[in-house]
Amino acid sequence: MTATASSRHTAPRYKAPADRDLVPRAMVRAMLALVLTVLALVSYYVYTDRPLVATPPEAEVILERTVFLTGEMSGAATVLDAQGTLIGRLSPETGGFIAGVGRVLDRERTKHGVSLTGPVTIIGRADGRVSIHDPSTGWGADLMGFGQDNARAFVRLLAQ
């Protein structure tokens, strides 16, 4: 076996000859066309102020409560009502999601440069959906997207 023959057999398999494309040009062009089409569609809808159609309909508000949330990195959470009365002090095992929402609120408030201690509104709707809204930043979230157990944690706060 010669030196060139042995080096040809030991060359890494992932290296293709220079004259051969690893990804076919037709595939690259198809991916580029897809990206440009999606970009054009999104741009059209944004610039023409088209209404959002993939959002759930707004049902009637049947229950609303203003609370103060404090979440810790451990997962523990403290919830106070609008008057400052303790509603619940939740352990890391039971308050993890509520503490997580509290940390999201802190991040949003820091981004907007507002006080970290403001109230939030928990909203229960006629269709069974529960959401949270922060009036100081305009941030809000439909809690049903996080699963029944997590939404139920906020339903319990509404019921107390």
What percent of the chain has a predicted confidence (pLDDT) above 90?
Answer: 28
Which pTM value belongs to this model?
A: 0.65
How confident is residue 147, by pLDDT bands cut at 50, 70 and 90?
confident
Could you give the C-alpha distances from 156 to 66, 87, 119, 150, in angstroms and in order?
14, 10, 18, 10
Name 123's Cβ contacts closer than 8 Å, sequence gap at least 6.
Answer: 61, 63, 64, 130, 131, 132, 133
pLDDT one-digit tens code per residue, 54-96: 777 788 889 999 999 888 888 888 888 888 888 888 888 877 8
Check residue 84 and report its DSSP letter. Answer: S
